[in-house]
Structures are given as structure tokens and as C-alpha cells.
Amino acid sequence: MDSNLQATLAEQGKKAKEAARFLATASTTLKNDALLAMADSLVNNSAEIIKANKVDLAEGEKKGLTTALLERLALNEERIEAMAEGLREIAALPDPVGEVLGMTRRPNGIEVGRIRTPIGVIGIIYESRPNVTADAAALCLKAGNAILLRGGEEALNSNRVIASTIAAAAVENGIPAGAIQLVDSPDRAAAVIMMKMHDYLDVLIPRGGKGLKKAVMENASVPFIMTGMGNCHVYVDKYADLAKAQKIVYNAKVQRPSVCNAAETILVHKEIAPAFLPDMINELQKAGVEIRGCAEAREIVGDIKAATDQDWDTEYLDLILAIKVVDSVEEAIDHINNYGTGHSEAIVSEDYSNVRRFMAAVDAAAVYANASTRFTDGNVFGFGAEMGISTQKLHARGPMGLQELTTIKFIIYGDGQIRE
């Protein structure tokens, strides 16, 4: 492995640890002022950001990136303004650091409590979407953490400009230079090095697909929170309002197919499949969606591709949708628990018992009744932005906002007590 790259990352890690010590006790006012300045700097430098992004898009087209991946990568003035607004929303949120989570008096008179405190130094490895650079940096700063950002090669030019822009604004407002740092290397070895930086990183957040997840599982010695994979489903129950179901399915697949909360498989109860599927598939095909169906679905609508077992296990991130006809809500639940990634799942039904059964039995971070999976988002949930959607169960699950970027410290007040 490249010794120069290792040395560079080690130096960045040292700077980040120093910055984290400062941020642990930084005032809310200082952090908020920096965040607002960072937001303004994004807008003021939007032309430079878009120029760099065009280079990434051109290179991505040459390398054959899919239309969906190029859509995730693309920036314009509207998206940059949305990034800036996300930073302003984070500044407006309550500071989680120092929140007291209860205090009790023990029989000997000591008082035992817990408070929220920063995690320290967070590393994030992510792909495609350059807005993550701003969102992740802002959330970590507000929660009192330093951050090392390692984006994908396909967004390197965009990330360079975004990271340098917001880091400079933060420094100008009193934040240490090591608080926001970009790992400026397209070499995949940089990601592997980060996975082993246990001397500097307190937690690693991988945000990507199966390849990244596999690499982290095989290489990481840093504690990690897995995020990002979204093989999401919508189950249309036999008691569904079909007009409502059609809107939900269409939105979950078509509105933005390249993101992790888009639906990849639709499960339809056999009793309503003949009434529901022809119009639904027609509408999806008009939108350019390629349909892959099970044998029962193909009997109802003949002009669709045959789905294979691999389709049930695939996160397409594209205008492709698998459809399976099921016999019952129990079969739908079993299918989701077998093939889902623990991200976002939905049922469309007017039957209270089936909704309750689905909500209780489906194993996912976000479970919906009669709504699109597309709502699983830190901003939509009121967090301002998110570090990712955790599909794990320990420490954090679902959209990771400010509270999920803190840990707990016990505080004990005494008056001379000693243990006998």
C-alpha cells in the first residue's frame, strides 16, 4: 500500500483529532455562525462548483456511468441552494451537545446523570452524490465532531471545490482547519486505509452499495455504522385503495429512481393483481420504467420481462422495477424480510389488521402505511440533513441526524463520598 498516502491520511487524522478536542467544547453560537457562513459560501461559489461538476459529468459519460448515476452526480444552482438551505436548517436545530438525559440521586447522596457528547472524529466514505460533502460536514460540525470526507472518484472535482469552500468559510469563523477535511485521492486504497485508522477515527460511516459494504466488512478495524443500501418494497394489499396505490407505487419508483429510498420491487396481492397491474404497468412504462415480473404477473400483463431470483435481491438505482404477485400479507412480509436491506418498506391497505401486522413484522428502519418510501430522508424527518440511512440496529437506525452523531457520557456529582 502507498506509504505516502498512508502518511498523508495519518497527518489528516492527527489534525482531525486536534480539531475534535476544540469542537467538543465549542459554543453553539460559534458553530451556528460557521454553518451560516458555509451556506453563504456555497451560494457565492456556485459557478465554480458547477464548473467542476461539469468536468465530473463529462468524465462520467466517457466512463459509461448510467443515466441514474449521472443524475445523482449532477449539480445546478437549485441543488446548490438546497444544499445551502440544508446547512441553514442545521444551524437552526437545537444543539444536542450537553443535553442532559436524566439525573438521579443515589442513596449515598451522589447524583448520577447522562449527557450527550460528541463522538470525536468521524470518517465517511460515500459515492456519487456531492451534496453529501456539505451535509455530512455540517452535521458533524453542529454535533461537535471533526470529519474526514472520502467521496467517490466520479465526484472528485465537485467534492474538492465544495469541501474547500465550506472548510475555508468555517476557518474564517473560528473553526480549526482540521475540522473539515477531504481525502483528496481517487485511489481506492485511501478508503481501505480509512477503514483501518483506529488511532484517529472514532467511527466510520460507509454510504454506498454492496461492494463498499463488502470491503468494510472485510477490512475495517474502525467501528462502523453501515448505511445506504436500499432494496425497498411496496406491498399492495388486497384491501388497498387502488388509486392511492397507483400514486404511491409511481412516486416510489419514478420520482427519483437513483436514490436509496426508491422502490425496487412491488409485491401485489393475487386477488387485486388483475385489476391493478395492467394500468399500473402501463403508467410505469410510459415513464420509461423497465418491468420484470414473476410468472403470475406475466400472465396478467404479457409484454414484460421475466424476473429471476437475482431481481428480488437487486438494488437497481435506475428505472427498472421487479413485480411479484403474492398470496397473502404473510408472504409479502416473508419476501421483504428475506430480500430487503432493512431500509424502507411500505404497505398500501385500508385494512387495519393487515397494516398493523405488516408494521410490526417487517424488519426495516422505516416502515410505511399508505405512503411512499421516498420520504425516508433526514431533511423530510426534520433533521436538516443526514449522514446516511443506517440499516443497522445498534446505536443508530434510519436517517442519522444530530443526535445519532453524539454519544453518551455519565456525569456524577458528589460531596466527598467514598466507596466502602
What angle, 0 to 180 degrees and rounded to 10, lies between the N-to-C axes of helices 77-92 and 46-62? 120
Q: What's the pLDDT score for residue 202?
A: 97
Residue type, 277: L
Give dist(CA 213, CA 230) in Å, integer.
12
What angle, 0 to 180 degrees and rounded to 10, lies between the N-to-C axes of helices 156-172 and 46-62? 160
Q: What's the pLDDT score for residue 337?
A: 98
- Residues 50 and 104 both lie in one domain: yes
Cβ neighbours for 122, distance < 8 A, ≥ 6 positions apart: 140, 145, 146, 147, 148, 201, 202, 203, 204, 205, 387, 405
Give dist(CA 141, CA 180) in Å, integer.
8
Residue ranges for the chain with pLDDT beneath 70: 1
Burial class (CB in 10 A: 0-12, 13-18, 19+), 126: buried
Burial class (CB in 10 A: 0-12, 13-18, 19+), 365: buried
Q: What's the pLDDT score for residue 219?
A: 93
Q: What's the pLDDT score for residue 1?
A: 62
Q: What's the pLDDT score for residue 59?
A: 95
Q: What's the pLDDT score for residue 83?
A: 94
- Residues 182 and 35 both lie in one domain: yes
With beta carbons less than 8 A apart as the criterion, state whether 277 and 300 touch.
yes
- Residues 339 and 321 both lie in one domain: yes
- Residues 220 and 241 both lie in one domain: no
Containing domain of residue 299, as a range?
232-375
- Quote the number of domains for the chain: 2
- Residues 254 and 157 both lie in one domain: no
User: Helices (DSSP H) in 287-404: which residue ranges?
Assistant: 295-300, 309-312, 329-339, 352-361
Burial 268-306 (b: 16+ CB within 10 A, else e): bbeebbeebbeebbeebbeeebebbbbebbbebbeebee
Retrieve residue 295's grid coordinates. 410468472
Cell 411479484 belongs to residue = 324
Handedness of CA 208, 209, 213, 214 (dihedral sign): negative
Average pLDDT value over all residues in the chain: 95
DSSP 282-301: HHHHHTTPEEEE-HHHHHHS
In a domain, 118, yes or no: yes
Q: Can you give the CATH number for the domain in which 41 is found?
A: 3.40.605.10
pTM for the whole thing?
Answer: 0.87
